[in-house]
Amino acid sequence: MPESLLEKVDLYAEWNWEDRATAIRQLVAEGLRLKLQHAVIERIEKGQITIRQGADLLGVTYLEMDELLRDRDVPLVKDLSLAVRRASARPGRRRR
C-alpha cells in the first residue's frame, strides 16, 4: 500500500480513536457498501434486477431502497404512459 494512503488511513484512525487495522476494516466495509450500492442502482436502472432484489442485496427494506433511488433521481418507472395504462387496466379501477 502506498505510504501516502497509509498516512491517510492513520489520520482517519487517529480522528476516530481507532487502531490502523480497525480503521482499514471500517474503510473497506464502507467502500464496499458504496460500490455495491452503486452497482445495484445501476442494475435497477437497466432493468436487470428489481427494486426488491436490490433491497435484498443491500440488506435494506423496500422503502429504504425506494428512498435511495429517489435521492439519486432514479425514476421508478421509465415509461410513465405504460405505467398509466397498466394502472387503468387493473380490475376495480374506475377512470375519472
Instruction: Write the pLDDT tens digit of every residue in 41-93.
Output: 999 999 899 999 999 999 999 999 999 999 998 877 665 565 566 667 766 65
Exposed e or buried b for every residue in 57-87, given b needs 16+ CB within 10 A? bbebeeeebbebbeeeeeeeeeeeeeeeeee
Decide if 51 is inside a domain.
yes
Place of cell 464496499: 32
- What is the domain count for the chain? 1
Decide if 16 is inside a domain.
yes
Domain that includes residue 78, residue range? 3-89
Say what the pLDDT of residue 89 is. Answer: 72
Say what the pLDDT of residue 23 is. Answer: 93
pLDDT band at 35 (very low <50, low <70, confident <90, very high): very high
pTM of the model: 0.67
Decide if 65 is inside a domain.
yes
Decide if 96 is inside a domain.
no
Say what the pLDDT of residue 74 is. Answer: 86
